[in-house]
Structures are given as C-alpha cells and as structure tokens.
C-alpha cells in the first residue's frame, strides 16, 4: 500500500503486513502510522489524501469548540484502535480555511471519511471512540 508522509509529502510503499508496526518515512525518517492522528493543513492536505491507499478519516475541528475538545481524546483512542487500517487526521478549520471551505464545513466537529481522495461519508457532532470505530468500519 502507499502511505504519504504528512511531514515531507513523500509517498512510501508499506507492505500490508507491516502497516501496524510503526513504519517510517524513507525520506525524512518520521513515523508514518504511529496510531496518533496526523495534522493536515491547507498546504499538505491534497498530497496526503490523494495518494494514500488507506481510508482517511478527517476530524474538522477548532480550538475554541467545546465539543471538539471533548471529542479529541476519543478520536485519539480511535486512531490507536485503527492503527495500520486507517489514517486519522485533524484539520483546524481556523488555521486551514481553504480545506474547510472546499468541504463545506458548517458545523464542527465534523468527521469526513475519504478513500482515494474522494469523500465517502460524513457525520457531524461529537462522538465516542466506539461510535467512531463503528462508523469507520
């Protein structure tokens, strides 16, 4: 499978059986799939989502949003549970207004499920880790 490094935007080939074993980027050496959400911005969003083979779940959030802050630990927990099977990412809508606008984000938190750069599904509102896992599968 192909996984794009969110730090240097290098496309890495990762054997399926090694996806859950903390593979690192062949260019910059940073961990690709460490079980934590990656930060996406207006600058790196397209490179990461369009060339990664894994399903990607994006949490559109903002620092001032109470429900977003409540859901953050749940999203972290879901990222650990889905390690190697999906890439969970966060987009700060205040810091990345172009991506948020392109996806028509009107309320936060909003989760968007992507595969091959295309949106498959979305849901708005804070969720528990079990709900996120159920929704992703």
10 Å Cβ neighbour count for 63?
10
Question: Residues 40-61: what's their mean pLDDT?
Answer: 94
CA distance 41 to 98: 9
The DSSP bridge pattern shows strands 2-4 and 38-40 to be: unpaired
Decide if 61 contacts 99 (C-beta within 8 A): no
Q: Which of 5, 8, 28, 65 is an active site residue?
A: 65
Least confidently predicted of 48-52, 107-111, 125-129: 48-52
28 a catalytic residue: no
**Is the pLDDT confidence value at 19 over 90?**
no
Question: Residues 65-82: what's their mean pLDDT?
Answer: 97
Predicted pLDDT of residue 116: 87
> Burial of 21 by CB count in 10 Å (0-12 exposed, 13-18 middle, 19+ buried)?
exposed
**Is the pLDDT confidence value at 126 over 90?**
yes
Predicted pLDDT of residue 119: 96
For residue range 90-100, list pLDDT tens digits in order: 999 999 999 99
Q: Which of 5, 8, 28, 68 is an active site residue?
A: 68
65 a catalytic residue: yes
């Amino acid at each position: 499978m192909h996984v794009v490094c969110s730090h240097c935007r290098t496309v890495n080939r990762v054997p399926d059986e090694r996806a859950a074993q903390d593979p690192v980027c062949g260019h910059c050496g940073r961990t690709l799939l460490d079980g934590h959400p990656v930060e996406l911005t207006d600058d790196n969003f397209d490179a990461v989502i369009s060339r990664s083979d894994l399903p990607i779940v994006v949490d559109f959030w903002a620092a001032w949003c109470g429900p977003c802050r409540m859901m953050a630990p749940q999203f972290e927990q879901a990222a650990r549970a889905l390690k190697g099977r999906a890439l969970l990412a966060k987009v700060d809508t205040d810091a990345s207004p172009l991506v948020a606008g392109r996806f028509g984000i009107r309320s936060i938190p909003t989760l968007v499920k992507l595969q091959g750069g295309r949106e498959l599904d979305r849901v708005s509102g804070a969720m528990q880790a079990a709900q996120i896992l159920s929704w992703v599968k």
